[in-house]
Amino acid sequence: MLAQEFIRRKRDGKDLAPADIADFIQGLTTGSVSEGQAAAFAMAVFLRGMSRAEAVALTEAMRDSGTVLDWRDLGRPVVDKHSTGGVGDNVSLMLAPMLAALGCAVPMISGRGLGHTGGTLDKLDAIPGYVSQPDLALFRKVVREAGCAVIGQTADLAPADKRLYAIRDVTGTVESVPLITASILSKKLAAGLEQLVLDVKTGTGAFMATAEEARELTESLVSVANGAGLKTSALITDMNEPLASAAGNAVEIANALDYLTGVRRDPRLHEVTVALGAELLHLAGLARSDMEGRAMLEGTLSSGKAAEHFQIMAAGLGGPKDLIENYRAQLPKAPIIRPVSAAGEGVVAHIDTRSLGLAVIELGGGRRVASDKIDHAVGLTELAGRGVSVGRDRPLALIHARDEASFARAAEMVRGSYRLGEAPPVSSPVLTRIGA
């Protein structure tokens, strides 16, 4: 079918045949489909949507646009998790080595920051020497040796997704649920996974701000993933406040290593980490119940095995061989580290979590445009959560800034992100719903 006829069919609300979808995506990969045609297709899907069968066909075609990895020679369950993004969400950094310590292979393909949300790759780039986008040979080697490797999408994996996403980013079609679904899952399928758990965020710091939007995306992701042969389930989790008490790059790495070594574990962060891990262990047949899976994961922390696997992964990808012992000295530090206090005293009643993410960008810890360089040292720590009393003795956060001007701008944004009350707000569970 001619590309223009293919686009016209979707524009008119008709279903697309799997073979035609495959041909169009092949053309997108080879360049025979123009950017204008790809943009028109994205807008047609944005406006008309896709059936589950169409979304499965699109996901599989994007998966097959490049290399599809095969890990069967490892003889281990090949698992992964994916988060739709938030603020202070560094779960991947802990969960990958925890699962590796339990005999799983975790070839995790992660992304860079998008909008107000932090990116796992940007965080890992804060580790001196860490190669976040290795070639496939090194990727395979580290997965074999460490049990896990957290890296970025290479040119070999789902190249159609790279091209289509860049077009969506500048044509107002990012929020299309079928296109989000295909973008996320094509990379996961190309990574050769056997089981996947999805963490779909909802709240003031999430792309899916309402429970209804999160539920729609969850149901799409789970049904399409399973339709494409990838055993998948999902949790919907709360992003009405930062998940960790830190937001930034080096500061979130430090927070993750504090977690793995037992120095500090933020309660909400711990709950989401073990819940996702237990769900994945159950999917992989390694745990018979949620309680058993949680106990197994806790064991990797108390024994130090999870920290050991993180160290092997980091060193294998070029990082320091003594990172776990000396991470405080090795991670970059901002020259200004100073508290920001609330205008008055009270209890944190509401947090505009998205605004806190934007404060990190204002400090230089994220990108305004794709070409921006990131300052890995800056960010926020000791973030006050909902229900915490703040005032003279308890600041809203510590700001890690490069200079006085960026500190002042970020301080104003942090103060504006918090609303205080006289009594603690009604608590909401961090795990709001299990998708099925």
Q: Where in the sequence numbering do the catalytic residues fall?
A: 80-83, 120, 168, 183, 187-188
| Tokens (6 digits) for 168 | 């969506």
Following DSSP, what letter does each residue of 34-46 receive, concatenated?
-HHHHHHHHHHHH
